[in-house]
Amino acid sequence: MDDIAQTYAYSAPAAEVASEASSIRVTRQTPEASETGELSVLTYNVRGLPWPLALNRAKALREIGRELAAMRQAGRQPDLVLIQEGFRAEVADLVRESGYAYWARGPGRPLAKLTNGGLHILSDAPILDVRRAAFGACAGFDCLANKGAMMVRVQPDWSPTPIDVVNTHMNARKASGAPRSQTLPAHHGQTRELTDFVTTHRDTDHPLLVGGDFNIRNSQARYDYQADNRPFAVVEEFCSRSGSGCGAGAPDTTTKPWLRTQDLQGFRDGVVRVQPVASRFLFNQGDQRLSDHEAYLVRYRLSWKTETLAAVYQPDPSLQVKPHKLGFRVSWAP
């Protein structure tokens, strides 16, 4: 798989607010040197399909950017936005409207494909590194896009370690136009490839956050495949357990809420512990929906003990982050 690391950074201008945000308030904390911080992640399939597969999507992409800008003006914007189906060039309009300082893109368009992978990550914190890989397995119309996975390494100013963040989009079922005899093996193959990608590129000292369109709604066969090898815990499944600490209310232990949606988030500890504390679906107001997916927001609490961290984690002293005309340059001293 492609493991080229290259960062595309975009310094976004101040955005005008064109709509009122519809969201939960995300509390943003800048902890003292002591031991906790919070970070929010939004994963969103924006249906940025090229014409004529979808109509009026350029306008919708700009409106999504304005929704994010309204959240920013209110001080509750997600720290990270993971986008799927961002195939159109107008994704740049979304980025400009949203006000995020850093923008990384996933697998590009090879000659054999109709379009790129449609994956993007927006971040307020500096992006130190990007890894990307296209899936080899696919079925039906999905083979026209360079679907796959990407990982960025971000460094919030309050976090004692970088955070590894993965975004992915996996093979559809009916929308792919292929029979189940082809789409299920393709999805299984992509599951194996995603596991390999994460385990190869993730630094186990860093906390891991994962999101994307997994295309698993109502499919136990897709969700359960190699679940024991999954390199992250799925938020909805984890939070369904008694004593999970995910927030107020009784956990849902019977209806498998993680199978009600295509979109998942996951996490895993590094030397810093990760705990989901709240989640919600956004941008889903009836006829005003901006995509055929809802946006899925999860807020995480990261915690650590300073003395434990000092004993276990030693940052690489050769890593340098310097200003650059695209935003920044990452280099390693020999």
Asked if pLDDT for residue 31 goes beyond 60, the answer is no
C-alpha 200/C-alpha 245 separation (Å) is 30
Cα–Cα distance measured from residue 211 to residue 165, given in angstroms and rounded to the nearest whole number: 8
Domain residue extents for the chain = 36-305
User: In terms of DSSP bridges, do strands 163-169 and 208-213 run parallel, antiparallel, or are they unpaired?
Assistant: parallel
**Is 181 a residue whose pLDDT tops 90?**
yes
Q: Which tokens sit at 292?
A: 């055929």
pLDDT greater than 70 at residue 333? no
* 224-275 confidence digits (pLDDT tens): 999 999 999 999 999 988 888 887 655 666 678 888 888 999 999 999 999 9
Lowest model confidence (mean pLDDT) among 30-44, 152-166, 170-184, 204-218: 30-44
Which pLDDT band holds residue 309 (cuts at 50, 70, 90)?
A: confident
Question: CA–CA separation, 277 vs 228, rounded Å?
Answer: 24
- The yes-or-no verdict on residue 114 having pLDDT over 90 is no
What number is the average pLDDT over the span 200-217?
95
Tokens of 47: 């249906």
pLDDT of residue 329: 41
Q: Which residues of 121-154 are buried (b: 16+ CB within 10 A; e: fewer)?
A: bbbbbbbbbbbbbbbebbbbebbebbbbbbbbbb
Q: What is the pLDDT of residue 13?
A: 36
- Please tell me the predicted confidence (pLDDT) of residue 3: 36
List residues bridging with 263 in a β-sheet. 213
Considering the four listed CATH numbers 3.30.565.10, 3.30.1490.100, 3.60.10.10, 3.20.20.70, the one that applies to the domain covering 36-305 is 3.60.10.10
pLDDT score, position 283: 77
Mean pLDDT of the chain: 82
How many angstroms separate the CA atoms of 151 and 209, rounded?
10
Residue 330 and residue 128: Cα distance in Å, rounded? 6
Residue 72 binned pLDDT confidence (cut-offs 50, 70, 90):
very high
Most confident of 58-72, 149-163, 303-317, 318-332: 149-163
Output the pLDDT for position 294. Answer: 87
Look at residues 117, 110, 172, 187 and name the one whose alpha carbon lies nearest to residue 150: 117
Q: Look up tokens 């889903």; give the residue.
A: 284
> How, if at all, do strands 148-154 and 36-48 pair?
unpaired
Nearest alpha-carbon partner for 302 in 262, 274, 278: 274
Instruction: Please determine, for residue 23, whether its predicted confidence score (pLDDT) is greater than 60.
Output: no
Q: How much is the pTM?
A: 0.83
Q: Work out the pLDDT band at 330, boundaries 50, 70, 90.
A: very low
Q: How many Cβ atoms are within 10 Å of 224's Cβ, its own excluded?
A: 11
- 120, 102 Cβ separation under 8 angstroms: no
- DSSP secondary structure string for all residues of 28-55: -----SSSEEEEEEEEEEEEEPPTTTSS
- The strand ranges marked E within the chain are 36-48, 80-86, 102-105, 120-123, 127-134, 148-154, 163-169, 208-213, 233-234, 263-268, 273-282, 295-303, 319-322, 329-332
Q: How far apart are CA 333 and CA 210, in angstroms?
A: 30
Q: Quick one: tokens of 197?
A: 């990608």
